[in-house]
Amino acid sequence: MSDQSHAPQHNPTGSEQEQMPVQEEASLHVEKWEGIWIRIAVGMTVVFIAAITVAALSFGITVPGATARINPATLNDPGSPFANPGIRELAPGKYEVYMVAQTWNFVPDRIEVPQGAEVTFYVTARDVIHGIKLAGTNVNMMALPGQVSTLKATFDAPGTYNYICHEYCGYVAGAPIGHHTMYGQLTVLAAEGTSETAQVTE
């Protein structure tokens, strides 16, 4: 048996409620300098979001994406687009490049496209983690075994664009051999009547 006793609840009347002390909720107090820094942080966030939006919509700067998964051991299998890596013309002015990064070279390591070409790059790695940076363009992405990375770029300026592996991709017997030789060149051929060329070597 329970020994609990229940006292009748007392509901205060209107006059009693007026006599009861009222507890006011404390307002949030922010120090002067803390408030200033909060406003600065919010303002910088807005500026960064605006900059990313403008870069994506106005300048065509995009983040590399992963379009597919692929088994590195099957890159040479019939039907694989990486079995015969290189450039393919889809339509006038539109191309796609299938590229394999491997220790210590890119396949292909020489690419030619006409001025104004829109090129979609599909890149994967055969062995270890590599990277590709195409100087003077927005092409800068990782080449990972098992993943196909993709990025699109338009080449309006004729000239030679070097691409390098920007990810340290291993060593032999404790010595950093070969990584520095992993590079290639993309040549943009000038349209007829255009003689200006640029050498981009970043």
Kindly report the CATH number that applies to the domain delimited by 65-200: 2.60.40.420
Q: 115 near 198, Cβ under 8 Å?
A: no
Of 101, 61, 64, 70, nearest in space to 85 by CA: 101
Distance of alpha carbon 169 from alpha carbon 179, whole angstroms: 6
User: Is the pTM higher than 0.85?
Assistant: no
Ranking 13-22, 73-82, 123-132, 186-195 by mean pLDDT, the lowest is 13-22
Q: In the predicted model, is pLDDT for residue 49 greater than 80?
A: yes
- pLDDT (0 to 100) of residue 161: 93
Domain boundaries defined on the chain: 29-61, 65-200
Residue 37: asked if its preceding bond is cis (omega within 30°), the reply is no
Q: How many CB atoms lie within 10 A of CB 18?
A: 9
pLDDT class of 73 with cuts at 50, 70, 90: confident
Higher pLDDT: 125 or 58? It is 125
Distance of alpha carbon 12 from alpha carbon 54, whole angstroms: 62
Q: 100 near 108, Cβ under 8 Å?
A: no
Q: 61 near 55, Cβ under 8 Å?
A: yes
